[in-house]
Chains A and B, each alone.
Chain A
């Protein structure tokens, strides 16, 4: 049995390479209608009227709805409540009711028999909106009292984590370093915009919905409750999906509008978001401002960390609730020996697109803020940034390392092996010290070259998931589990984990994802948890099948069930080659009356629900070498390296894909990607020309070393989750490299480090240091 740990060919590839992938737009139902959403053109306003009459007159238009059609319908609930925090006033209605809160806020929905006609009709809906003052900065907006929220403050609440006597520590510290840092607004922006198809079956009196990803079971519950349908009247079916990164598949207003319009018209409804719409409608992410302070003793040992942050939440609280703030504040304590810590995040609503969770939520921010502050501290203490980290990283004697913090109800137990050892291995494999020498030499010759490193703390694998594995009378093996295909290779990995138990080829296993008719409950694909939690459920379900197969075969063969061996989908008694039964033969027996009379369930089926006790805490390091063009301020990455502790890789090449792709996204947020707004709250980044993803020419060859030194103790596969480590450290490493290239004594101020910001840093540096010799003689 060697499926796990082997890079088998991806089961998803053939259909995708042949152009036969079935994305949501490829779901074509007879007589389907097209929905188009009419969105607010203003960032904050009072709705005085919506005139749909011209749109309704356009030939081909079937229906136009506004909030008046949804009176009495509850608002979209949060998926993860935060104890002690009441989100009720801040929740979003499927169609704006009374007020609009951001440009892109859905106000009406149009249904037509052709997508072009639906767009024509949407433009004919006349909106009468009285503009109100806008708030575009979380820190200064916190105290506003807002009529649209019934007089509640713009600040939704404060998330605080801490331990130790932090104020005493700071009062007595030999050195205190403080800085103010901001992370820009960027997001996952998958290449395939969102989309859904819903179809009503009059005979069965139920609806099928295609296109939900991430959390189909939660979304089914919410749709059922909001529309007022029994859950069993909604059947969720998977499609291929063009990337998620945490953004696709949350319950958005459109996730109500599509099934609602389908139910109302009893006709198939398709909605296919366009790119400009995606940039204002799908969750934004990241934007935070931090005041961070670090306290050190005389020997540069970290004594404490204090952090106050403001999260620019955008117009409403969406389904993730306070997750981003929780992960930012709780994990700010990081991978170091840190006797005392207090970290607070203010969640503040503003007049921008609401935020949500995007790959490494909170960790992109806490790793950047803490690691950049460490580099500033190194300069101020006269210490070497590498040595400052080495001195403070937790080592093998300190694991498992328990912090007096509970995250999502579980104690924070860093479950790794040795952060310091990992860093030393990373320094060696990346040859980072040589990069530093090269950069120093290049600077001496007048170039603006610098290096930066970051040690990152990640988290993965929380919650529960379920799986069913069955073997039928033909011997076919099928696994159904509660994850979603978002491009990560989930079918391959779940097939591998199943195949391992039966010793059959991975490609012989059929994988079914989040089909609510086959698997009644599941959890979803998010938070680097699919393999950790869903994969463990699959393993346990397959083990249950093998246990039953042994039991049945043991009786039939007159052999000790535990003695039987499983090879190539056949069970046999070692030493007696005639005593063998295939899984198909065993399955047939499992439907006989004799078998059922024993109280057994019909068929060869195994079920499991796996609940993780707590999160795993993967860790790793990022290294960057960057050069700045002094004329344009453009940052060019020359080298990049990542190391990551994965615990155990089910499919090493898919782990590499995850980390390398994640790194490119992280670099995008560090250098290029930003949702910018005008002073009236109008989005300035609504195309892929304004919101600039990295291209192949922007990215150096990335060196990646994946370590399997520390199998996760909390799950039987030993896996730690791989989805986000490539992203989590990129802001930190890039910022530190740019700071080094510019030889700043202070901080870079903010991400992304686009040319305009870098030129400003250059001007400030040169203007503020008159004695500095001219560099370009």
Chain B
């Protein structure tokens, strides 16, 4: 181990030229099934799955918003589970089945979820939309009757910058076989959960309207 040195900065130019002369690493073979098609390719280890989908496999529908896994824009399904294609390296997808937004259409036409997004005005710029569609696809496969609150919880994984989220939730809810259970709301939303700090707090009588119905007129 080298002790920290006051003269360290003088080493910088050498480090720089070392990096510049580094040989390129050899590409790695990857076999992956993408939207049902088996694909074999050879990629540098550092290439992200999103970049390889976009640039090597000719699937431009997957968008990248943050490159850090925060926004979920690049969500694809890997073996059926939502995954951030910006954080996953293409080599990690070796041997998996990947589904992208391009897999959703049926005979070139919008599927039920895509139609619902249009009918509920759940997209504006459309950049986040592929990610939300894939997230919702995974949710509805597992929980076809997901409740409105469950849908809200699920879509909180992804970010949208144009919309108010309620319309995305509306769209997914309209596809869920059992829609939202319109149970009476509390005077203050969230009161259903008991609060340790205020054990005596009682929900006041519902003065209506029920939160959850307002934005869908």
A binding-site residues for B, Cβ under 8 Å: 7, 9-10, 12-14, 16-23, 25-26, 54-55, 57-59, 115-116, 120, 123-124, 126, 188-193, 240-243, 245, 274-276, 431, 434, 437-438, 441-442, 445-447, 449, 486-489, 625, 627, 630-631, 636, 638-639, 641, 653-654, 656-657, 660-661, 663-665, 687-689, 693-697, 699-704, 776
Contacts and interface: CB of A to CB of B under 8 A. Distances in A.
Given A689-B68, A702-B166, A23 B159 contact: no
Interface in B83-128: 100-102, 104-105, 110, 114, 117-119, 121, 123-128
Contacts, number: 240
Given A126-B13, A446-B197, A23 B127 contact: yes
B160 interface: yes
A665 B208 CA distance: 27
A445 B61 contact: no
Given A19-B100, A688-B66, A701-B212, A661 B164 contact: yes
Nearest to A699: B165
Contacts of B17: 54
A163 B74 CA distance: 53
B133 interface: yes
Nearest to B201: A445
Chain B residues touching A, majority SS = loop
22 contacts: A7-B121, A16-B123, A18-B102, A21-B61, A25-B54, A120-B19, A191-B71, A191-B159, A245-B161, A275-B65, A431-B208, A438-B188, A447-B198, A487-B127, A638-B189, A656-B121, A660-B167, A661-B161, A661-B163, A693-B159, A697-B153, A703-B215
A17 B114 contact: yes
B38 interface: no
Contacts of B188: 438, 442, 447, 449, 625, 627, 638
Given A434-B207, A664-B164, A446 B201 contact: yes
Nearest to A637: B189
Given A18-B101, A20-B61, A243-B125, 12 more contacts: A10-B123, A23-B127, A59-B24, A120-B19, A126-B12, A191-B159, A241-B125, A245-B161, A447-B198, A630-B197, A660-B167, A696-B152
B162 A445 contact: no
B129 interface: yes
A241 B124 CA distance: 10
A728 B92 CA distance: 45
A125 to B, nearest CB: 9
Interface in B59-79: 59-63, 65-68, 70-71, 73
B121 A10 contact: yes
Q: Which of A21, A625, A664, A701 has the most CB of B within 10 A?
A: A701
Contacts of A631: 197
B126 A240 contact: yes
A124 B16 contact: yes
Contacts of B10: none
Given A19-B61, A442-B204, A688-B159, A639 B211 contact: yes
Contacts of A701: 166, 211-215
A116 B211 contact: no
Given A18-B101, A701-B211, A657 B61 contact: no
Q: Would you list the 10 A-B pairs with minimal beta carbon distance, nearest first?
A: A19-B61, A487-B125, A16-B126, A660-B164, A242-B127, A703-B214, A688-B70, A19-B101, A487-B124, A697-B156
